[in-house]
Protein backbone atom coordinates (compact mmCIF):
# COMPACT_ATOMS: atom_id res chain seq x y z
CA UNK A 1 0.00 0.00 0.00
CA UNK A 2 1.19 3.51 -0.66
CA UNK A 3 0.61 6.58 1.46
CA UNK A 4 -3.06 6.52 0.50
CA UNK A 5 -3.59 3.18 2.27
CA UNK A 6 -2.53 4.61 5.62
CA UNK A 7 -4.16 8.01 5.64
CA UNK A 8 -7.30 9.20 7.38
CA UNK A 9 -7.82 12.46 5.50
CA UNK A 10 -10.74 12.96 3.16
CA UNK A 11 -10.46 10.87 0.04
CA UNK A 12 -8.00 8.39 1.50
CA UNK A 13 -8.95 4.78 2.13
CA UNK A 14 -8.17 3.25 5.53
CA UNK A 15 -7.58 -0.50 5.43
CA UNK A 16 -9.44 -1.96 8.42
CA UNK A 17 -12.33 -4.22 9.37
CA UNK A 18 -15.67 -2.58 10.30
CA UNK A 19 -16.21 -1.71 13.96
CA UNK A 20 -17.47 -4.62 16.01
CA UNK A 21 -15.86 -7.22 13.73
CA UNK A 22 -12.46 -8.95 13.61
CA UNK A 23 -10.32 -11.23 11.50
CA UNK A 24 -9.74 -14.72 12.87
CA UNK A 25 -6.46 -16.54 12.33
CA UNK A 26 -3.95 -19.00 13.78
CA UNK A 27 -4.64 -20.75 17.06
CA UNK A 28 -7.72 -18.58 17.69
CA UNK A 29 -9.41 -20.31 14.76
CA UNK A 30 -8.27 -23.73 16.03
CA UNK A 31 -9.72 -23.13 19.50
CA UNK A 32 -12.99 -21.82 18.06
CA UNK A 33 -13.24 -24.85 15.77
CA UNK A 34 -12.69 -27.10 18.79
CA UNK A 35 -15.61 -25.39 20.54
CA UNK A 36 -17.74 -25.94 17.41
CA UNK A 37 -16.70 -29.60 17.42
CA UNK A 38 -17.64 -30.09 21.08
CA UNK A 39 -21.03 -28.48 20.50
CA UNK A 40 -21.75 -30.49 17.37
CA UNK A 41 -20.82 -33.76 19.09
CA UNK A 42 -23.32 -33.06 21.88
CA UNK A 43 -26.03 -31.96 19.42
CA UNK A 44 -25.64 -35.16 17.38
CA UNK A 45 -25.64 -37.28 20.53
CA UNK A 46 -29.17 -36.02 21.18
CA UNK A 47 -30.46 -36.70 17.67
CA UNK A 48 -30.02 -33.24 16.17
CA UNK A 49 -30.13 -32.62 12.42
CA UNK A 50 -28.69 -29.46 10.93
CA UNK A 51 -30.29 -26.87 8.66
CA UNK A 52 -29.03 -23.63 7.10
CA UNK A 53 -30.93 -20.43 6.32
CA UNK A 54 -30.03 -17.21 4.44
CA UNK A 55 -27.86 -14.67 6.26
CA UNK A 56 -30.53 -12.06 5.54
CA UNK A 57 -34.32 -12.26 5.79
CA UNK A 58 -37.19 -10.10 4.60
CA UNK A 59 -37.39 -7.24 7.08
CA UNK A 60 -41.04 -8.01 7.86
CA UNK A 61 -39.95 -11.51 8.97
CA UNK A 62 -37.83 -10.02 11.74
CA UNK A 63 -40.01 -7.01 12.64
CA UNK A 64 -41.81 -7.13 15.99
CA UNK A 65 -40.06 -10.25 17.34
CA UNK A 66 -37.34 -8.77 19.55
CA UNK A 67 -38.99 -6.08 21.67
CA UNK A 68 -36.69 -3.20 22.54
CA UNK A 69 -33.75 -4.98 20.90
CA UNK A 70 -35.32 -4.49 17.45
CA UNK A 71 -33.34 -1.25 17.17
CA UNK A 72 -30.18 -3.38 16.90
CA UNK A 73 -31.22 -5.06 13.63
CA UNK A 74 -29.00 -4.29 10.63
CA UNK A 75 -31.22 -3.08 7.77
CA UNK A 76 -30.08 -3.42 4.16
CA UNK A 77 -30.72 -1.17 1.20
CA UNK A 78 -33.60 -1.99 -1.16
CA UNK A 79 -32.35 -4.60 -3.64
CA UNK A 80 -34.72 -5.54 -6.44
CA UNK A 81 -37.84 -4.43 -4.61
CA UNK A 82 -37.27 -6.50 -1.45
CA UNK A 83 -36.54 -4.83 1.88
CA UNK A 84 -34.19 -7.13 3.84
CA UNK A 85 -32.27 -7.17 7.11
CA UNK A 86 -29.35 -9.24 8.38
CA UNK A 87 -30.53 -11.95 10.75
CA UNK A 88 -30.43 -10.92 14.42
CA UNK A 89 -30.51 -14.49 15.73
CA UNK A 90 -31.14 -18.03 14.46
CA UNK A 91 -34.46 -18.55 16.25
CA UNK A 92 -36.77 -16.36 14.15
CA UNK A 93 -35.34 -17.75 10.87
CA UNK A 94 -35.94 -21.25 12.29
CA UNK A 95 -39.56 -20.39 13.07
CA UNK A 96 -39.98 -18.99 9.54
CA UNK A 97 -38.41 -22.20 8.15
CA UNK A 98 -40.85 -24.40 10.12
CA UNK A 99 -43.87 -22.34 9.03
CA UNK A 100 -42.82 -22.17 5.38
CA UNK A 101 -42.05 -25.89 5.11
CA UNK A 102 -44.95 -27.11 7.31
CA UNK A 103 -42.50 -28.76 9.74
CA UNK A 104 -44.45 -30.32 12.61
CA UNK A 105 -41.56 -31.76 14.61
CA UNK A 106 -37.79 -31.54 14.37
CA UNK A 107 -34.67 -31.52 16.55
CA UNK A 108 -32.43 -29.07 14.74
CA UNK A 109 -29.08 -27.47 15.32
CA UNK A 110 -27.67 -24.53 13.39
CA UNK A 111 -24.20 -22.97 13.61
CA UNK A 112 -23.95 -19.64 11.79
CA UNK A 113 -23.14 -15.94 12.05
CA UNK A 114 -25.66 -13.37 13.25
CA UNK A 115 -25.52 -9.56 13.27
CA UNK A 116 -26.44 -6.94 15.87
CA UNK A 117 -25.76 -3.22 15.73
CA UNK A 118 -24.82 -3.14 19.41
CA UNK A 119 -22.00 -1.13 20.98
CA UNK A 120 -19.05 -3.54 20.82
CA UNK A 121 -16.69 -4.69 23.59
CA UNK A 122 -14.39 -6.86 21.52
CA UNK A 123 -12.17 -8.45 24.19
CA UNK A 124 -15.28 -9.55 26.09
CA UNK A 125 -16.76 -11.32 23.08
CA UNK A 126 -19.44 -8.66 22.48
CA UNK A 127 -19.36 -8.10 18.73
CA UNK A 128 -21.58 -7.02 15.87
CA UNK A 129 -20.82 -10.11 13.81
CA UNK A 130 -20.61 -13.31 15.83
CA UNK A 131 -21.44 -17.00 15.76
CA UNK A 132 -24.41 -18.56 17.45
CA UNK A 133 -24.90 -22.30 17.88
CA UNK A 134 -28.57 -23.16 18.37
CA UNK A 135 -30.33 -26.36 19.32
CA UNK A 136 -34.15 -26.30 19.11
CA UNK A 137 -36.91 -28.86 19.48
CA UNK A 138 -40.21 -28.23 17.66
CA UNK A 139 -43.31 -30.36 18.10
CA UNK A 140 -46.01 -31.40 20.56
CA UNK A 141 -44.74 -33.59 23.40
CA UNK A 142 -45.66 -34.22 27.02
CA UNK A 143 -44.96 -31.18 29.23
CA UNK A 144 -41.38 -30.24 30.12
CA UNK A 145 -39.70 -33.26 28.52
CA UNK A 146 -38.10 -31.32 25.61
CA UNK A 147 -37.25 -28.50 28.05
CA UNK A 148 -35.44 -30.94 30.32
CA UNK A 149 -33.43 -32.35 27.42
CA UNK A 150 -32.40 -28.87 26.25
CA UNK A 151 -31.02 -28.15 29.73
CA UNK A 152 -29.26 -31.53 29.81
CA UNK A 153 -27.66 -30.63 26.45
CA UNK A 154 -26.57 -27.31 27.96
CA UNK A 155 -24.86 -29.06 30.87
CA UNK A 156 -23.11 -31.53 28.55
CA UNK A 157 -21.81 -28.71 26.36
CA UNK A 158 -20.21 -26.73 29.18
CA UNK A 159 -18.88 -29.82 30.95
CA UNK A 160 -17.11 -30.74 27.68
CA UNK A 161 -15.28 -27.40 27.34
CA UNK A 162 -11.78 -27.05 28.85
CA UNK A 163 -11.82 -25.07 32.09
CA UNK A 164 -15.64 -24.87 32.40
CA UNK A 165 -16.74 -27.83 34.52
CA UNK A 166 -18.19 -26.54 37.78
CA UNK A 167 -17.61 -22.92 36.75
CA UNK A 168 -20.96 -22.00 35.24
CA UNK A 169 -24.55 -21.57 36.41
CA UNK A 170 -27.75 -22.17 34.46
CA UNK A 171 -30.17 -19.46 35.61
CA UNK A 172 -33.81 -20.33 34.99
CA UNK A 173 -37.22 -18.72 35.33
CA UNK A 174 -40.66 -18.98 33.74
CA UNK A 175 -42.40 -16.20 31.80
CA UNK A 176 -45.78 -17.17 33.22
CA UNK A 177 -44.47 -16.94 36.79
CA UNK A 178 -42.93 -13.56 36.01
CA UNK A 179 -46.09 -12.25 34.33
CA UNK A 180 -48.15 -13.52 37.25
CA UNK A 181 -45.91 -11.73 39.76
CA UNK A 182 -46.19 -8.50 37.76
CA UNK A 183 -49.98 -8.85 37.74
CA UNK A 184 -50.04 -9.50 41.50
CA UNK A 185 -47.91 -6.38 42.05
CA UNK A 186 -50.26 -4.28 39.89
CA UNK A 187 -48.21 -3.72 36.72
CA UNK A 188 -50.56 -2.54 33.92
CA UNK A 189 -50.97 -5.10 31.13
CA UNK A 190 -49.47 -2.77 28.52
CA UNK A 191 -46.30 -2.40 30.57
CA UNK A 192 -45.58 -6.10 31.22
CA UNK A 193 -42.93 -6.44 28.51
CA UNK A 194 -41.17 -3.12 29.14
CA UNK A 195 -41.01 -3.75 32.92
CA UNK A 196 -39.78 -7.27 32.14
CA UNK A 197 -36.93 -5.77 30.09
CA UNK A 198 -36.01 -3.52 33.01
CA UNK A 199 -35.97 -6.41 35.50
CA UNK A 200 -33.70 -8.35 33.12
CA UNK A 201 -30.97 -5.75 33.76
CA UNK A 202 -30.59 -6.75 37.42
CA UNK A 203 -27.62 -8.96 36.54
CA UNK A 204 -25.79 -5.86 35.30
CA UNK A 205 -27.17 -3.03 37.44
CA UNK A 206 -28.18 -2.60 41.12
CA UNK A 207 -31.84 -2.48 42.10
CA UNK A 208 -31.71 1.31 42.63
CA UNK A 209 -30.89 1.88 38.96
CA UNK A 210 -33.46 -0.61 37.71
CA UNK A 211 -36.12 0.92 39.99
CA UNK A 212 -35.27 4.39 38.67
CA UNK A 213 -35.73 3.15 35.09
CA UNK A 214 -39.10 1.62 35.97
CA UNK A 215 -40.42 4.69 37.77
CA UNK A 216 -38.81 7.61 35.94
CA UNK A 217 -38.24 6.06 32.54
CA UNK A 218 -41.34 3.86 32.18
CA UNK A 219 -43.85 5.61 34.42
CA UNK A 220 -44.43 2.78 36.91
CA UNK A 221 -45.93 3.60 40.33
CA UNK A 222 -43.10 3.51 42.96
CA UNK A 223 -45.14 1.27 45.28
CA UNK A 224 -45.57 -1.30 42.48
CA UNK A 225 -41.82 -1.23 41.82
CA UNK A 226 -41.12 -1.95 45.51
CA UNK A 227 -43.54 -4.89 45.48
CA UNK A 228 -41.75 -6.31 42.43
CA UNK A 229 -38.45 -6.19 44.33
CA UNK A 230 -39.86 -8.48 47.05
CA UNK A 231 -40.21 -11.22 44.44
CA UNK A 232 -37.39 -10.69 41.94
CA UNK A 233 -34.67 -10.91 44.59
CA UNK A 234 -35.61 -14.57 45.19
CA UNK A 235 -33.06 -17.08 43.90
CA UNK A 236 -31.88 -20.57 44.81
CA UNK A 237 -32.69 -24.22 44.14
CA UNK A 238 -35.99 -26.03 43.67
CA UNK A 239 -37.05 -24.78 47.12
CA UNK A 240 -37.88 -21.44 45.46
CA UNK A 241 -40.74 -23.17 43.63
CA UNK A 242 -42.10 -24.59 46.90
CA UNK A 243 -41.68 -21.21 48.60
CA UNK A 244 -43.77 -19.45 45.93
CA UNK A 245 -46.38 -22.22 45.87
CA UNK A 246 -46.91 -21.60 49.61
CA UNK A 247 -47.88 -17.95 48.97
CA UNK A 248 -51.72 -17.74 48.64
CA UNK A 249 -51.61 -14.61 46.47
CA UNK A 250 -49.26 -16.34 44.02
CA UNK A 251 -51.22 -19.58 43.54
CA UNK A 252 -54.40 -17.50 43.26
CA UNK A 253 -52.95 -16.06 40.05
CA UNK A 254 -53.62 -18.48 37.19
CA UNK A 255 -50.52 -17.54 35.20
CA UNK A 256 -48.13 -17.90 38.17
CA UNK A 257 -49.80 -21.14 39.30
CA UNK A 258 -49.39 -22.76 35.87
CA UNK A 259 -45.76 -21.60 35.61
CA UNK A 260 -44.92 -23.02 39.03
CA UNK A 261 -46.49 -26.39 38.13
CA UNK A 262 -44.30 -26.47 35.02
CA UNK A 263 -41.20 -25.63 37.06
CA UNK A 264 -41.94 -28.29 39.69
CA UNK A 265 -42.26 -30.96 36.97
CA UNK A 266 -39.12 -29.69 35.22
CA UNK A 267 -37.11 -29.90 38.45
CA UNK A 268 -38.25 -33.51 38.87
CA UNK A 269 -36.90 -34.39 35.42
CA UNK A 270 -33.70 -32.38 35.87
CA UNK A 271 -33.01 -34.26 39.09
CA UNK A 272 -33.07 -37.53 37.12
CA UNK A 273 -30.83 -36.03 34.40
CA UNK A 274 -28.34 -34.67 36.99
CA UNK A 275 -28.77 -31.05 35.91
CA UNK A 276 -30.03 -29.60 39.23
CA UNK A 277 -26.52 -29.06 40.72
CA UNK A 278 -25.81 -26.53 37.92
CA UNK A 279 -29.22 -24.83 38.20
CA UNK A 280 -30.28 -21.60 39.92
CA UNK A 281 -33.96 -20.58 39.90
CA UNK A 282 -33.75 -16.81 39.62
CA UNK A 283 -36.87 -14.63 39.72
CA UNK A 284 -34.96 -11.66 38.28
CA UNK A 285 -34.28 -13.48 35.00
CA UNK A 286 -36.67 -12.04 32.43
CA UNK A 287 -35.05 -12.31 28.95
CA UNK A 288 -36.01 -9.20 26.97
CA UNK A 289 -37.09 -10.91 23.74
CA UNK A 290 -40.83 -10.79 23.13
CA UNK A 291 -41.32 -14.28 21.72
CA UNK A 292 -40.72 -16.31 24.92
CA UNK A 293 -43.85 -17.91 26.42
CA UNK A 294 -42.67 -20.36 29.09
CA UNK A 295 -39.41 -21.52 30.68
CA UNK A 296 -36.48 -19.14 30.06
CA UNK A 297 -32.83 -19.64 30.96
CA UNK A 298 -29.35 -18.30 30.49
CA UNK A 299 -25.87 -19.52 31.37
CA UNK A 300 -23.50 -17.24 33.28
CA UNK A 301 -19.97 -17.63 34.58
CA UNK A 302 -17.15 -15.59 36.08
CA UNK A 303 -16.83 -12.51 33.91
CA UNK A 304 -20.46 -12.50 32.81
CA UNK A 305 -21.33 -9.67 35.17
CA UNK A 306 -19.62 -6.26 34.91
CA UNK A 307 -16.92 -5.41 37.45
CA UNK A 308 -18.61 -2.08 38.32
CA UNK A 309 -22.09 -0.58 38.13
CA UNK A 310 -22.89 2.52 36.13
CA UNK A 311 -23.39 4.32 39.45
CA UNK A 312 -19.76 3.63 40.38
CA UNK A 313 -18.49 5.37 37.28
CA UNK A 314 -21.11 8.12 37.06
CA UNK A 315 -18.80 10.81 38.43
CA UNK A 316 -16.09 9.86 35.97
CA UNK A 317 -18.55 10.05 33.07
CA UNK A 318 -19.65 13.53 34.14
CA UNK A 319 -16.08 14.79 33.93
CA UNK A 320 -15.52 13.18 30.55
CA UNK A 321 -17.32 14.20 27.42
CA UNK A 322 -19.92 11.54 26.75
CA UNK A 323 -18.95 9.72 23.58
CA UNK A 324 -21.15 10.68 20.68
CA UNK A 325 -19.92 7.59 18.86
CA UNK A 326 -22.20 4.59 19.51
CA UNK A 327 -19.67 2.47 17.62
CA UNK A 328 -16.83 3.03 20.10
CA UNK A 329 -15.34 -0.18 21.50
CA UNK A 330 -16.13 -0.55 25.22
CA UNK A 331 -13.75 -3.39 26.10
CA UNK A 332 -12.28 -1.31 28.94
CA UNK A 333 -15.64 -0.15 30.30
CA UNK A 334 -16.07 -1.70 33.79
CA UNK A 335 -19.87 -1.48 33.45
CA UNK A 336 -19.75 -3.98 30.57
CA UNK A 337 -19.33 -7.68 31.30
CA UNK A 338 -19.21 -10.64 28.96
CA UNK A 339 -22.89 -11.26 29.64
CA UNK A 340 -24.61 -14.60 29.30
CA UNK A 341 -22.72 -17.23 27.31
CA UNK A 342 -25.87 -19.14 26.34
CA UNK A 343 -29.57 -18.41 26.59
CA UNK A 344 -32.95 -19.61 25.43
CA UNK A 345 -36.38 -20.76 26.42
CA UNK A 346 -39.80 -21.86 25.23
CA UNK A 347 -41.50 -19.97 22.40
CA UNK A 348 -44.76 -21.71 21.54
CA UNK A 349 -46.33 -18.94 19.48
CA UNK A 350 -43.51 -17.79 17.19
CA UNK A 351 -44.16 -20.26 14.35
CA UNK A 352 -47.85 -19.41 14.53
CA UNK A 353 -47.04 -15.74 13.90
CA UNK A 354 -45.94 -16.80 10.42
CA UNK A 355 -48.31 -19.65 9.58
CA UNK A 356 -51.31 -19.17 11.86
CA UNK A 357 -50.73 -22.70 13.18
CA UNK A 358 -49.01 -22.84 16.57
CA UNK A 359 -46.16 -25.34 16.90
CA UNK A 360 -44.60 -25.65 20.37
CA UNK A 361 -40.84 -24.89 20.34
CA UNK A 362 -38.05 -24.72 22.90
CA UNK A 363 -34.36 -24.06 22.34
CA UNK A 364 -30.98 -22.77 23.47
CA UNK A 365 -28.45 -20.51 21.76
CA UNK A 366 -24.73 -20.67 22.60
CA UNK A 367 -22.66 -17.50 22.09
CA UNK A 368 -19.45 -19.01 20.71
CA UNK A 369 -17.41 -15.80 20.69
CA UNK A 370 -18.16 -15.11 24.35
CA UNK A 371 -17.41 -18.75 25.20
CA UNK A 372 -14.16 -18.41 23.21
CA UNK A 373 -13.05 -15.30 25.14
CA UNK A 374 -13.51 -17.00 28.50
CA UNK A 375 -12.10 -20.38 27.41
CA UNK A 376 -8.96 -18.72 26.06
CA UNK A 377 -8.42 -16.90 29.37
CA UNK A 378 -8.94 -20.12 31.35
CA UNK A 379 -6.55 -22.35 29.44
CA UNK A 380 -3.92 -23.78 31.77
CA UNK A 381 -0.51 -22.20 31.16
CA UNK A 382 0.97 -25.67 30.65
CA UNK A 383 -1.36 -26.27 27.70
CA UNK A 384 -1.03 -24.95 24.17
CA UNK A 385 -3.46 -24.81 21.28
CA UNK A 386 -2.00 -26.52 18.25
CA UNK A 387 -2.01 -24.37 15.08
CA UNK A 388 -3.11 -27.36 12.96
CA UNK A 389 -4.09 -31.01 13.34
CA UNK A 390 -0.99 -32.65 11.85
CA UNK A 391 -0.21 -35.76 13.90
CA UNK A 392 3.09 -36.89 12.37
CA UNK A 393 6.16 -35.08 11.03
CA UNK A 394 8.40 -37.18 8.75
CA UNK A 395 12.05 -36.47 9.52
CA UNK A 396 15.28 -37.59 7.81
CA UNK A 397 18.37 -38.25 9.96
CA UNK A 398 21.85 -38.39 8.49
CA UNK A 399 25.36 -36.97 8.63
CA UNK A 400 28.22 -36.17 6.32
CA UNK A 401 28.65 -34.56 2.91
CA UNK A 402 27.19 -37.56 1.11
CA UNK A 403 23.88 -37.45 2.98
CA UNK A 404 21.14 -36.93 0.37
CA UNK A 405 18.39 -35.69 2.70
CA UNK A 406 16.21 -38.70 1.82
CA UNK A 407 13.58 -36.48 0.15
CA UNK A 408 12.02 -39.24 -2.02
CA UNK A 409 11.88 -41.52 1.02
CA UNK A 410 10.24 -38.83 3.16
CA UNK A 411 7.70 -38.16 0.39
CA UNK A 412 6.93 -41.88 0.08
CA UNK A 413 6.35 -42.28 3.83
CA UNK A 414 4.16 -39.15 3.90
CA UNK A 415 2.15 -40.51 0.97
CA UNK A 416 1.69 -43.83 2.79
CA UNK A 417 0.42 -42.02 5.88
CA UNK A 418 -1.94 -39.82 3.85
CA UNK A 419 -3.34 -42.91 2.11
CA UNK A 420 -4.06 -44.35 5.57
CA UNK A 421 -5.88 -41.17 6.64
CA UNK A 422 -3.09 -40.00 8.97
CA UNK A 423 -2.35 -36.27 9.00
CA UNK A 424 1.31 -35.83 8.15
CA UNK A 425 3.89 -33.28 6.94
CA UNK A 426 7.55 -33.12 5.96
CA UNK A 427 9.88 -30.19 5.35
CA UNK A 428 9.89 -28.94 1.74
CA UNK A 429 13.65 -28.88 1.43
CA UNK A 430 15.79 -31.43 -0.39
CA UNK A 431 18.63 -31.52 2.12
CA UNK A 432 16.83 -30.42 5.25
CA UNK A 433 18.90 -30.10 8.41
CA UNK A 434 17.86 -32.44 11.18
CA UNK A 435 17.51 -29.54 13.62
CA UNK A 436 15.38 -27.57 11.15
CA UNK A 437 13.02 -30.50 10.70
CA UNK A 438 12.52 -30.93 14.43
CA UNK A 439 12.06 -27.17 14.82
CA UNK A 440 9.25 -27.27 12.23
CA UNK A 441 7.60 -30.15 14.10
CA UNK A 442 7.97 -28.29 17.38
CA UNK A 443 6.50 -25.05 15.97
CA UNK A 444 3.48 -27.00 14.77
CA UNK A 445 3.16 -28.76 18.16
CA UNK A 446 3.12 -32.04 16.21
CA UNK A 447 2.87 -34.91 18.73
CA UNK A 448 4.75 -37.61 16.77
CA UNK A 449 7.78 -37.88 14.48
CA UNK A 450 8.71 -40.68 12.10
CA UNK A 451 12.51 -40.68 11.75
CA UNK A 452 14.14 -42.11 8.62
CA UNK A 453 17.81 -43.11 8.83
CA UNK A 454 19.93 -44.63 6.05
CA UNK A 455 20.89 -47.72 8.08
CA UNK A 456 17.34 -48.27 9.32
CA UNK A 457 15.90 -47.93 5.82
CA UNK A 458 18.31 -50.60 4.54
CA UNK A 459 16.74 -52.91 7.14
CA UNK A 460 13.27 -51.69 6.10
CA UNK A 461 12.71 -50.07 9.49
CA UNK A 462 11.87 -46.56 10.84
CA UNK A 463 11.69 -44.95 14.24
CA UNK A 464 8.49 -43.63 15.83
CA UNK A 465 9.20 -40.89 18.37
CA UNK A 466 6.73 -39.18 20.68
CA UNK A 467 7.67 -35.52 20.99
CA UNK A 468 8.26 -33.90 24.36
CA UNK A 469 8.94 -36.99 26.47
CA UNK A 470 11.04 -36.42 29.63
CA UNK A 471 14.74 -37.29 29.32
CA UNK A 472 14.46 -40.36 31.56
CA UNK A 473 11.57 -41.88 29.57
CA UNK A 474 12.45 -45.32 28.09
CA UNK A 475 11.11 -44.29 24.66
CA UNK A 476 12.75 -40.86 24.65
CA UNK A 477 14.85 -41.69 21.56
CA UNK A 478 12.01 -43.40 19.72
CA UNK A 479 10.91 -46.96 19.00
CA UNK A 480 12.16 -48.96 16.00
CA UNK A 481 9.39 -50.60 13.96
CA UNK A 482 9.15 -52.45 10.64
CA UNK A 483 8.12 -50.22 7.74
CA UNK A 484 5.19 -52.54 7.04
CA UNK A 485 3.88 -52.04 10.59
CA UNK A 486 4.27 -48.23 10.59
CA UNK A 487 0.62 -47.35 9.90
CA UNK A 488 -0.80 -49.79 12.45
CA UNK A 489 1.72 -48.71 15.10
CA UNK A 490 0.96 -45.03 14.56
CA UNK A 491 -2.80 -45.52 14.59
CA UNK A 492 -2.57 -47.40 17.90
CA UNK A 493 -0.56 -44.59 19.46
CA UNK A 494 -2.81 -41.87 18.03
CA UNK A 495 -5.91 -43.63 19.38
CA UNK A 496 -4.49 -43.41 22.89
CA UNK A 497 -4.09 -39.65 22.46
CA UNK A 498 -7.43 -38.94 20.80
CA UNK A 499 -8.67 -36.83 23.68
CA UNK A 500 -5.57 -34.64 23.49
CA UNK A 501 -5.71 -33.70 19.82
CA UNK A 502 -6.48 -30.03 20.41
CA UNK A 503 -4.83 -29.39 23.76
CA UNK A 504 -1.58 -31.02 24.90
CA UNK A 505 1.67 -30.12 26.67
CA UNK A 506 4.23 -28.20 24.63
CA UNK A 507 6.65 -30.59 22.95
CA UNK A 508 10.40 -30.86 22.44
CA UNK A 509 11.63 -28.18 24.83
CA UNK A 510 14.05 -30.07 27.08
CA UNK A 511 17.74 -29.20 27.09
CA UNK A 512 18.89 -32.72 26.20
CA UNK A 513 16.92 -32.64 22.94
CA UNK A 514 18.46 -29.30 22.00
CA UNK A 515 21.97 -30.56 22.75
CA UNK A 516 21.47 -33.67 20.63
CA UNK A 517 20.16 -31.65 17.67
CA UNK A 518 23.10 -29.24 17.89
CA UNK A 519 25.55 -32.14 17.99
CA UNK A 520 24.03 -33.66 14.86
CA UNK A 521 24.33 -30.33 13.02
CA UNK A 522 28.04 -30.20 13.85
* pLDDT category of residue 458 using cuts at 50, 70 and 90: very high
Lowest mean pLDDT among 40-49, 206-215, 506-515: 506-515
Instruction: Enumerate domains of the chain plus CATH numbers.
Output: 26-378 (3.30.930.10), 392-498 (3.40.50.800)
* pLDDT category of residue 89 using cuts at 50, 70 and 90: very high
125-160 pLDDT, tens per residue?
678 999 999 999 999 999 999 999 999 999 999 999
CA 456 to chain centre: 48
Buried b (16+ CB within 10 A) or exposed e, 241-264: beebeeeeebeebebbbebbbbbe
Judge whether residue 118 has pLDDT over 80: yes
Could you tell me which residues are annotated as the binding site for L-histidine? Answer: 89-91, 116, 132, 136, 287, 291-292
Q: Is 31 exposed, middle or buried (0-12, 13-18, 19+ CB in 10 A)?
A: buried
What predicted TM-score, i.e. pTM, was given to this entire model?
0.77
Which residues are CB-contacts of 163 (< 8 A; sequence separation ≥ 6)? 374, 375, 378, 379, 380
Q: Which of 335-339, 350-354, 469-473, 509-513 has the highest mean pLDDT?
A: 350-354
Could you tell me which residues are annotated as the binding site? Answer: 89-91, 116, 132, 136, 287, 291-292
Average pLDDT, the chain: 85
412-446 pLDDT, tens per residue?
999 999 999 999 999 999 998 888 999 999 888 89
186-209 pLDDT, tens per residue?
999 888 888 888 898 888 789 999
* pLDDT category of residue 302 using cuts at 50, 70 and 90: confident
The predicted pLDDT at position 328 comes to: 73
Judge whether residue 10 has pLDDT over 80: no
The predicted pLDDT at position 330 comes to: 64
Distance between CA atoms of residues 280 and 297, nearest Å: 10
In the chain, the largest separation of any two C-alpha atoms, in whole Å, equals 94
Count CA within 13 A, CB hemisphere, residue 142: 5
Q: Which of 235, 239, 238, 232 is nearest to 275 (CA)?
A: 238
Q: Which of 344, 418, 338, 407 is nearest to 378 (CA)?
A: 338
What Cα–Cα distance (Å) separates residue 252 from each residue in 181, 241, 403? 11, 15, 90
* pLDDT category of residue 315 using cuts at 50, 70 and 90: very low
The predicted pLDDT at position 402 comes to: 83
Query: Can you state the angle between helices 222-232 and 175-185, rounded to 10 degrees?
Result: 140
Query: Can you state the angle between helices 254-272 and 145-160, rounded to 10 degrees?
Result: 50
The predicted pLDDT at position 443 comes to: 87
* pLDDT category of residue 334 using cuts at 50, 70 and 90: low
Amino acid sequence: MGKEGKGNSKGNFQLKVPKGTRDWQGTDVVLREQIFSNLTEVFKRHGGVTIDTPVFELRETLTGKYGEDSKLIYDLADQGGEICSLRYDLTVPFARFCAQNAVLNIKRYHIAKVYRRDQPAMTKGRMREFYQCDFDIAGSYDPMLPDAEILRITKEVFDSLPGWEGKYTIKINHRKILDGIFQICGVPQDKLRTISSAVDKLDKSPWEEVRREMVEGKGLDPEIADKIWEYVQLKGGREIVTQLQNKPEVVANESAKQGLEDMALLCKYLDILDVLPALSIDMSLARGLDYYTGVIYEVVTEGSAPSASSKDVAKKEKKQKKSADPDEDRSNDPTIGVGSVAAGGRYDELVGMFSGKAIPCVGISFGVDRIFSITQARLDSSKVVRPNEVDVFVVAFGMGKDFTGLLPERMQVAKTLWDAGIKAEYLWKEKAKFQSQFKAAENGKVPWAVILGEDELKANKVKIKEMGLPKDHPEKDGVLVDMGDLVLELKARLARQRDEVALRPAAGNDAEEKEKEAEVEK
